[in-house]
Every structure is written in C-alpha cells, then in structure tokens.
C-alpha cells in the first residue's frame, strides 16, 4: 500500500539562481512535495509517532534551503528530495519547485523530479 502525504504551495524566501543579483537578493520559491508512505499504522493508532510529521519535515526543508545558496532549480529539487527520503517512512518523493515571475510573460518556471529509496 502506498499513500501520499503532501505539502502544497510552500513559499520560501531564499537565494536561487545563476545571475549575480539572484545570489544577493532573496526571492520567493514555491515548493510542492508529495511523499509516498504507508499510513496504515498511523491510521490505526492515531499517533503522530506512527506518521510522517509534515510540520517537522516542512521546518527541516526551510532550514535546509535557507542555509544554502543554490544556482540551479534541479540541484535544489534533488537536495529537497534526498532530505525527504531521510524520513524513515517515506519510500518515494516527487518534488516540484517553481520560481514565480522568473520569466517575463510566464507565471512561473520550474522542475519536477521523482526519487525513490
């Protein structure tokens, strides 16, 4: 059985980009994360210790990405995916990262990656 725990539209102000200005002026970056897990134990026990604590995962992602300056969206997505897979219950993860307003006339640009343990 594989269920999905997700974090949708997490906006984090951080440094991301290859242009010099992007490395000195933080910008909003949007994260959407889907973690494949088995929620059977959590559903049966109603205990957070049997679940993926999405609040803790979110806090740790924020700490990770605000402590580092990334040049490529691809690298950022891979680091976030690896970080999510370190959570013991997560078997697979899909990470979508968008840079709103990065291109003129486009709502956003970004990348989606999928990783498994």
Active site residues: 99
Closest CA to 91 of 5, 32, 9: 5
Q: Are 96 and 32 in contact (CB under 8 A)?
A: yes
The span from the CA of 16 to the CA of 38, in Å, is 33
- In angstroms, what CA-CA distances link 117 with 80, 82, 92? 14, 9, 6
Q: Which residues pair with 41 in a beta bridge?
A: none
């Amino acid at each position: 059985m594989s269920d999905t725990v997700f974090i949708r539209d997490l906006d984090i102000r951080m440094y991301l980009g290859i242009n010099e200005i992007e490395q000195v002026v933080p910008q909003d970056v949007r994260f959407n994360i889907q973690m494949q897990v088995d929620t059977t134990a959590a559903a049966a026990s109603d205990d957070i210790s049997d679940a993926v604590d999405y609040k803790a995962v979110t806090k740790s992602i924020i700490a990770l990405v605000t402590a580092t300056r990334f040049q490529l969206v691809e690298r950022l997505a891979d680091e976030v995916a690896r970080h999510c897979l370190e959570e013991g219950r997560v078997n697979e993860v899909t990470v979508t990262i968008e840079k709103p307003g990065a291109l003129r006339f486009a709502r956003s640009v970004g990348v989606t990656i999928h990783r498994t343990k």
